Structure 1
Amino acid sequence: MEPQAVTPEEVDTAETATALAQAPEKPGNLTRLKLSALGNRPYRCPEVIPAWWKLRSTHSSVSGLFDTLHLVRRERSQQNKAETRGRLHSDAQDLLRAAIVFTSAGVDASVQALIEHAVPVLITQPGTPRDKYETFVEEQARAPKVEDGFLAALKSQDPRPELLSLYVLSKTKASFQGSGDLKTRAASSLGITNQQIHKGRFTSLDVFFTARNDVAHRLDMDNVTRADAAPPRKLRAQEEVRSMCDEALLLVRDLIKETAVNLTACR
């Protein structure tokens, strides 16, 4: 049964885009991109809830972009009365780029929230998180020029929460610049071991972070070769983008779940 025609006004809403993307279609006509399900969040671990909801929100937003991509391509196919094949149109490419940027923002927001709420509990017990915190304090105290914020924390009536706040800020104030940064700045401070999440899971995100930087900093434009011509833009394949975004979000999901395990051990 063919889907009913819609008016331009109806297409404007995200709900309509999702409904149309899920409507029946001819087999093999168009590709519908889907992210892997996140499953249930860890229970009885309130520290991970803010990070989990940020992750869920990101998953929903990126899924909505993929639904809209499907709708745009199907509308174009119906207008041309032909199957959509070959290179994606520029508007479809921009939706793929938006999915990369949304995913990256979600990774930053989720992991930063995880660090902010989990680290204060994790450092109460011996282990890697406390070691990382104590190393930070020692490095600040022995620096050739002690920072004003560190001195102010030492002078406060209760230095411990002030020092902890500085430590958490050092881990969360900037976006994650690559897989190595995500592992050393986030996973280590959360006490995530190689047995919990193998280092290969992190290095496999190098392609994603490269794509994020290409889109966010250069709009996917190649180097300009002629002054009188628009620079060519890198073309993104649908499945490649879906796979990159999916892999990044699933790694954040597992960071949250394994952090919950470590938090439970601190109770």
Structure 2
Amino acid sequence: MLSKLTRVELTALPHKPRGGGLEIQRSWSRLVATHAVVSGLFTTLNDLRASQDDMRGAISETHRDQARAAIVFTAAGIDACLRTLLRDALHTLLLTDGSAHGAFIKHFRDGRLQGELTEATKRAVVDIDPRSALIDLYVNDLAGSSIQGAEDLAKCRNALGVLSREVVDG
């Protein structure tokens, strides 16, 4: 007998982007790992639901916990992936003039270099390698405590020089 249960599954990841080099290697690995973990959680959720005697009515607390875990792991995985991508790719992206470099300049001109400089900004400016120190400071400013809200994601997108028309919001 075929089950009327709708299975919850993730769409398969596309192939790894070509030409990304080492700058995307670690973040791509984190994305693949996140996808695998969340897919596994959904497989477990599907198996739990399929083993129920009666599939009518509200889902159980165990099923809700499994769905919550999938959401938490997805958010944490995307956060880790973007943090890594920012750390690994910005040094290369900021070697040339473009939208990523424009976002970098805007961040410092409109933020960190306005008014009294913070100790962290002062340390970065006088660092043995000021550019790298400023990029690290930029990444820390972008990543904050987490990258999960739409505004955080847009800041990361802009910092990486990805145009909003290339990534659909929502």
User: TM-score normalised to the size of structure 1?
Assistant: 0.59
**Structure 2 residue 61 is the aligned partner of structure 1 residue 90:** yes
Q: What CA distance in whole angstroms lies between the structure 1 residues aligned with 2:41 and 2:148?
A: 24
1:76 aligns to what SS in structure 2?
coil
Q: What CA distance in whole angstroms lies between the structure 2 residues aligned with 1:29 and 1:142?
A: 60
Contact 2:34–2:73, Cα closer than 8 Å, also in 1 = yes
Contact 1:122–1:129, Cα closer than 8 Å, also in 2 = yes
Q: Letter of the aligned partner of 1:39 in structure 2?
A: P
Task: State the 1:169 CA deviation.
Answer: 1.4
Contact 2:27–2:84, Cα closer than 8 Å, also in 1 = yes
Q: What CA distance in whole angstroms lies between the structure 2 residues aligned with 1:36 and 1:158?
A: 43
Q: What CA distance in whole angstroms lies between the structure 2 residues aligned with 1:193 and 1:164?
A: 20
Superposition pairs of residues 162-177 of structure 1, within 5 angstroms:
162-177=133-148
Q: What CA distance in whole angstroms lies between the structure 2 residues aligned with 1:177 and 1:52?
A: 18
Q: Identity over aligned residues, as a percent?
A: 32
Q: What CA distance in whole angstroms lies between the structure 2 residues aligned with 1:29 and 1:186?
A: 41
Unaligned runs of 5+ in 1: 1-25, 78-82, 205-267
Q: What CA distance in whole angstroms lies between the structure 2 residues aligned with 1:29 and 1:153?
A: 60
Contact 2:9–2:39, Cα closer than 8 Å, also in 1 = yes
Q: Letter of the aligned partner of 2:39 in structure 1?
A: S
Superposition pairs of residues 1-267 of structure 1, within 5 angstroms:
26-45=1-20, 46-77=22-53, 83-138=54-109, 139-143=111-115, 145-183=116-154, 185-198=155-168, 202=169, 204=170
Contact 1:116–1:172, Cα closer than 8 Å, also in 2 = no
Task: State the 1:161 CA deviation.
Answer: 1.4
Task: State the 1:43 CA deviation.
Answer: 3.0
Task: State the 1:159 CA deviation.
Answer: 1.6
2:113 aligns to what SS in structure 1?
helix
Kindly provide the CA deviation profile for residues 122-174 of structure 1, in whole angstroms up to 9, marking residues without a partner as x.
Answer: 1111111111212233332332x211111112222332211121111111232
Q: What CA distance in whole angstroms lies between the structure 2 residues aligned with 1:92 and 1:65?
A: 10
Task: State the 1:94 CA deviation.
Answer: 0.9
Q: 1:132 to 1:93 in 2, by over 3 A?
A: same
Contact 1:128–1:191, Cα closer than 8 Å, also in 2 = yes
Please tell me the root mean square deviation across aligned C-alpha atoms, in Å.
Answer: 1.7
Q: What CA distance in whole angstroms lies between the structure 2 residues aligned with 1:157 and 1:49?
A: 28
2:33 aligns to what SS in structure 1?
helix
User: TM-score normalised to the size of structure 2?
Assistant: 0.89
Q: 1:73 to 1:29 in 2, by over 3 A?
A: same
Task: State the 1:177 CA deviation.
Answer: 4.2
Contact 2:94–2:100, Cα closer than 8 Å, also in 1 = yes
Task: Say how many residue pairs are matched.
Answer: 168
Q: What CA distance in whole angstroms lies between the structure 2 residues aligned with 1:66 and 1:157?
A: 48
Unaligned runs of 5+ in 2: none
